[in-house]
Structure 1
Amino acid sequence: MNLYRSARAVAGASGTDAIDWESAAEAAKAATDPGSISLEPGEREGYARDVREARAAVREVSGVEFDVPEVVEIQNRHHWIDANVETFERVMGAIEPHTETFPGVARTINTGTMTVLLAFLGRNVLGQYDPLLLAETPDDEHALYFVRPNILKAADALEVDSDRFRRWIAFHEVTHAAEFGAAPWLSTHLETRMEDGIAALSEGSFDRNAFRELDAAMTVVEGYAELLMDHAFDDEYEDLRRKLDARRAGRGPLQRLFRRLLGLGLKQRQYERGKNFFEHVVAARDLETASLVWRHPDTLPTSEELDTPGLWIRRIER
């Protein structure tokens, strides 16, 4: 880790875009220990086995035929940063056609902000299913990443078996692959809401409806993943959830503030809200009924229905 090199990369941000992406990636990696991906004997096969068995279990409980991405990577933190710079650049690319040329000082500030975001996430993300939203071609392969140093560090901090913890992460990420497999329209739905919302922001307005629909869809994505985990994972896991929740709650005030500024509190809220919605639906009906959210964009619950699941049940049963 070299903070001087990180600061120098940010200070040297150049170009005409809002963010100098090359400098942001260089600075984030300079500020982040990459961690090791020197695998133990049998560890690579362990990752592969976990993904295969997660796919089989999720297929069985969901009734959805889907494939996991061909791109399954065991990464260090620098690998994750490189992969996600491209994602952030695609999202920001939707803003820049609507903006004038950025002055140098604004570009430096933006590049520094992105550096902090990438470095923080690079040190904390455990696994990731990447549907490659806003990719240039719709046929680009989705990807599945495991950030090995973060998985081992978290397992150690939680005092749980690392192989079991890795398997739990694999099941969670594979449930996201199942969602996009169940709903081929989901990527386009999310992209359209993102583009509409970003375009409005770049023009100085706020498209409340686009962001509400995006938030609702992402809440369903997080909640349904938890629903499938409850049914598919082949081991006890309540201790893992309890320890992770306690770890999040036990973060220092500065880190909690940092997570709020980065919008990570929103993701936690989506997870909790989505989980509550699906628990109610399954208790009132069954898993098959809950899976109707993926039948069509119109069967996604609205923001109001997420908080009052009975409204959604009555609507889709008409």
Structure 2
Amino acid sequence: MSRNTSAAPRPQLVNWDIAASTAASLTPAGPTMTPAEIARAVQNMRELADASVGHVHAISRLDAARDLRDSELLIVDRASWSKANAQSFRTLMEPALDQLAATRPDILTSASLALGGTLTGAQLGAILAFLSSKVLGQYDPFVASRNGAGGRLMLVAPNIISVERELNVDPSDFRLWVCLHEQTHRVQFAAAPWLKDHMTAHIGQLTTGLMGKADSLSERLGAAVKSIGSGRSRGKGEGTDGVPPQEAGVLSILQDPEDKALLSHLTAVMSLLEGHANVVMDGVDGSIVPSVKTIRRRFNARGKSRGPLEKVIRQLMGLDAKMRQYSDGSKFVRRVVGQTGMDGFNAVWESAEHLPTEREIHTPDEWIDRMSLRRHG
């Protein structure tokens, strides 16, 4: 009688299948459209996504944007976006989990781990389901494209159509405006081919650190939720890092200096990427997007009309603090471009050492001085 000596499958800290299925089941339906309307919208978005690359090239002055065809363009629905992001999370986190299995096997042999992985998967799925109705587009550099060395560019068609109807703006103008932002992200990673590995390594280090403290994460997450409630009862006021306590959200679970330093760096990078994309998308004039000023004004005003439930969820997830960081990123890019020109700013893509720190995002002149860039008179 032979004995099965194969190793038992490793327990999962996150049940990715549960995350994907939960997200798909909870994702709200999009706007009602006929098959013909859907086909026309998808074709229009594909054409505008292709056309936007040339505009990004003209505004950003990045050679990487010249006839860029390294990525896969996907026009997706909300459920597909949720599943794709569950896959992306898994791609980012699995190396950290493998390292954890080698260095802290005790964490991965807990009797409660399977139940915890199911619960965490369901929680992640619920978060993705919530976000699936908010995200207009996304460039994912971490999951390889089937078309080349780049990642996946996703446009979430139901959300784009819902927002353009809500804002009562020209559909083609709005779709091109969205494509400009997402294609800029694609160009950023093409201009800085080292950036993907740089971010992957830092995300992996942060994930490894957090997972290494898995036994206390649930307690800290509970404390973060309580801080939101107490912050709301106290009213406005800032914490020690300048972030209002009711908006710090799950970010407040980070306790160790090493974790905070990693998050600070990733925050600066994300602020840079989002700020640059915002500057590019708003760099078009009326000859390219005739109603761009109206779109931006109405889009910004839309964020002020969120309901109470959505505001609480956004605070829990730290999304409002994140949006402030993106605004700071736009200010950084505009200041640097105003002082050194776009070619001067583009030094940021040359190496990881040229990335701004979180402090420099808020004080761009310090980055200009560090880079020894000449200021315009």
Q: TM-score range by the shorter chain?
A: 0.7 to 0.9
Who is 1:23 aligned against? 18
**Take 2:366 and 2:13, find their aligned partners in 1: how far apart are those partners?**
43
User: 8 Å contact 2:271–2:328 — kept in the other structure?
Assistant: yes
Who is 1:118 aligned against? 128
Q: Secondary structure at the match of 1:146?
A: strand
TM-score (norm 1): 0.86
Deviation string for 1:13-51 (max 9, x for gaps)? x98212222222222212224546835364344223212
Who is 2:359 aligned against? 304
- The alignment yields a C-alpha RMSD, in angstroms, of 2.5
**Take 2:63 and 2:150, find their aligned partners in 1: how far apart are those partners?**
17
What runs of 5+ residues in structure 2 fail to find an aligned partner? 1-8, 101-106, 214-255
Who is 1:108 aligned against? 118
Who is 2:264 aligned against? 212
- Equivalent position amino acid for 1:56 in 2: G
Among 173, 176, 179, the alignment partner of 2:185 is 176
Deviation string for 1:64-93 (max 9, x for gaps)? 233144411111112112211101222332
**Take 1:198 and 1:15, find their aligned partners in 2: how far apart are those partners?**
18
- Equivalent position amino acid for 1:90 in 2: T
TM-score (norm 2): 0.74
Q: Secondary structure at the match of 1:17?
A: coil
Who is 2:165 aligned against? 156
Among 276, 280, 297, the alignment partner of 1:224 is 276
- Equivalent position amino acid for 2:93 in 1: M
Who is 1:7 aligned against? none
Who is 1:278 aligned against? 333
Who is 1:9 aligned against? none
**Take 1:44 and 1:18, find their aligned partners in 2: how far apart are those partners?**
37
User: 8 Å contact 1:58–1:232 — kept in the other structure?
Assistant: no
* Superposed counterparts of 1:117-156, under 5 Å: 117-132=127-142, 141-156=150-165
Cα 1:245–1:145 change in 2 (3 A) is: same
What runs of 5+ residues in structure 1 fail to find an aligned partner? 1-13
Cα 1:63–1:208 change in 2 (3 A) is: same
Q: Secondary structure at the match of 1:245?
A: helix
Give the fraction of aligned pairs with identical amino acids, expressed as a percent.
Answer: 31
User: Which deviates further from its counterpart, 230-239 or 51-60?
Assistant: 230-239
**Take 2:90 and 2:52, find their aligned partners in 1: how far apart are those partners?**
31
User: What's the CA shift for 1:218?
Assistant: 1.0
**Take 2:268 and 2:175, find their aligned partners in 1: how far apart are those partners?**
29
Q: How many residues align?
A: 303
User: What's the CA shift for 1:130?
Assistant: 1.1
User: What's the CA shift for 1:291?
Assistant: 1.4
- Equivalent position amino acid for 1:73 in 2: L
User: 8 Å contact 1:217–1:300 — kept in the other structure?
Assistant: yes
